[in-house]
Amino acid sequence: MGILSNIFRKIFPSSHPAATQATTPAAGTAAAPAQPTTTAAPAPAPSAAPMAEVDVEAILNGMAGSAGQALNWRTSIVDLLKLLSLDSSLQSRKELAAELHYTGDTNDSASMNVWLHRQVMNKLAANGGKVPADLKD
């Protein structure tokens, strides 16, 4: 079970396809919802996720409002992980970077963190999340 899957489970409702995927493959931006185990799945289900988009911003703002501390999830991967009650340690972020195929220097944590935040927002959007345009590519 990957860190990205844990992020999905914390944000998406349990009935959402992104929350039920075991792991998100590297090419998750291209048709990742075909993960659920079914035999001869009906065409509409895997194609364009018939479910309404999940408003990621509203969910995270709601969580931030009751977090008990100021967490800037909009720009900080560390704060995003803390908000979701996930491990935000450097080691955990390096594991997330490996999962998302980061090719930069993981010892340059500032650059890696910026890249990770953008990629997580892109993955959320690609898997049915409504993410503000300024937070993704």
Residue pLDDT tens, the chain, 137 long: 699 999 999 998 777 676 666 444 444 444 343 333 444 444 444 444 455 689 999 999 999 998 889 999 999 999 999 999 999 999 999 999 999 999 999 999 999 999 999 999 999 999 999 999 999 88
Q: So what's the pLDDT on residue 88?
A: 97
Locate the DSSP E strands across 11-120: 54-55
pLDDT at 53: 86
Are 112 and 36 in contact by the 8 Å Cβ rule? The answer is no
Q: Is 117 helix (H, G, I), strand (E, B) or coil?
A: helix
Residue 17 is predicted with a pLDDT of 73
pLDDT of 14: 76
pLDDT of amino acid 80: 97
Radius of gyration (C-alpha) of the chain in whole angstroms: 15
pLDDT for 1 equals: 64
| Alpha carbon distances (Å) from 17 to 6, 34, 39 | 13, 9, 16
Q: pTM of the predicted model, to two decimals?
A: 0.75
Whether the CB-CB separation of 95 and 105 falls below 8 Å is answered with: no
